Amino acid sequence: MIARLLRFIRFSHTIFALPFALGSMLVAAQGWPEWKTVGLILLAMIFARTAAMLFNRLADWQLDQRNPRTAERHTLVSRGVAIGLLVASSAAFIETTVWINPLCFWLSPLALVIVFFYSLTKRFTSFSHLFLGLALSVSPVGAWLAVRGQFDFPPLVLALAVLLWVAGFDIIYATQDHEFDRAAGLRSLVVRLGVARSLWWAQALHWFMLAVLAAFGWSTQLGTPFYASLVLIAGALVYEHRSAAQLDVAAINRAFFASNAFVGLVFVLGIFVDQVLLRRA
């Protein structure tokens, strides 16, 4: 049952948003924070993402059953179980924020609204990719608030970078469903502009994302390890876009997971070296 649930919510994709939350946490703490804070941030991330994915699966239940690429999903978990787990994970997220600080607690319902809202956007806007980016961009802001308990400018810069990054790779991912989305009356940039022009916009978003990441490094006075990570991130993005240009589903899936997992890992490692290892040296 647990294995089926993890496949149902694509738990492995947690690796996309988590490194940016951890990176934001390290910068906010200017090093390694208390283990209690780390644990609470991890729990909040897991519960929020689980709730968001369950809401997405429920919102798209009938659509996913008609799409050959996603039809298998709903043989894994029943709708009743999904609803129960959605309520439980949402409540667990809010309860976790109680133990972080009052600001995180009061903002937790808003965070859930933001991450849920994305699942509805393909029904009325071609820019649903940006709303998915917005949903994941909550993570670095939330991690910063968990450490400092106040809003600052740098996490908003990092949130913009996450928004651009996610929107770019979601456009690439959406090329797989181009024909189905058009037939089903769903909206995406790929449906609106076609595959070739959409892939151009995905590249533009990713190069803009690199510039915003550099601005985040400047605003937080990060050093050489962080900027070295940006070079590696740029290489991973080039690989992703070259794979996407092949318009091959297998190549897109390989590039999607491998490239974006690499981006997150390199990002957080660059910050870890800069904020933890070098500070201790």
State the sign of the Cα–Cα–Cα–Cα dihedral 144, 137, 2, 119. positive
Enumerate domains of the chain plus CATH numbers.
2-280 (1.10.357.140)
Predicted pLDDT of residue 228: 97
Contacts of 228 (CB under 8 A, 6+ apart): 270
Tokens matching residue 29: 């703490």
In whole angstroms, how far apart are CA 95 and each of 40, 126, 127, 180, 262? 10, 35, 32, 39, 32
Cβ-contact 53, 17 below 8 angstroms: no
In this prediction, residue 73 carries a pLDDT of: 67
pLDDT tens figures, 53-100: 999 989 988 877 777 776 676 666 888 888 999 999 999 999 999 999
Q: Which of 217, 211, 233, 208 is nearest to 271 (CA)?
A: 217
Q: Which residue, chain included where needed, has tokens 């941030």?
A: 41
So what's the pLDDT on residue 42?
96
pLDDT for 142 = 97
Distance between CA atoms of residues 137 and 71, nearest Å = 29
pLDDT at 153: 97
Q: Quick one: pLDDT at residue 27?
A: 98
Q: What is the pLDDT of residue 257?
A: 77
Residue 281: what pLDDT? 59
pLDDT digits (tens, 9 = 90+) for 236-267: 999 989 888 877 766 777 777 788 889 999 99
| Ordered mean pLDDT values, 10 residues apiece, the chain (281 residues) | 65 78 97 96 95 91 76 75 93 98 98 96 94 96 97 97 95 85 84 91 96 98 97 94 78 76 95 91 59
Q: What pTM value is reported for the model?
A: 0.94
Q: What pLDDT is attached to residue 139?
A: 96
Q: Residue 275 in contact with residue 26, Cβ under 8 Å?
A: yes
Surface-to-core class of residue 246, CB atoms within 10 Å of its CB (0-12 exposed, 13-18 middle, 19+ buried): exposed
Could you tell me if 16 and 261 are in contact, meaning their C-beta atoms sit under 8 angstroms apart? yes
- Kindly state the tokens that stand for 55: 């809401």
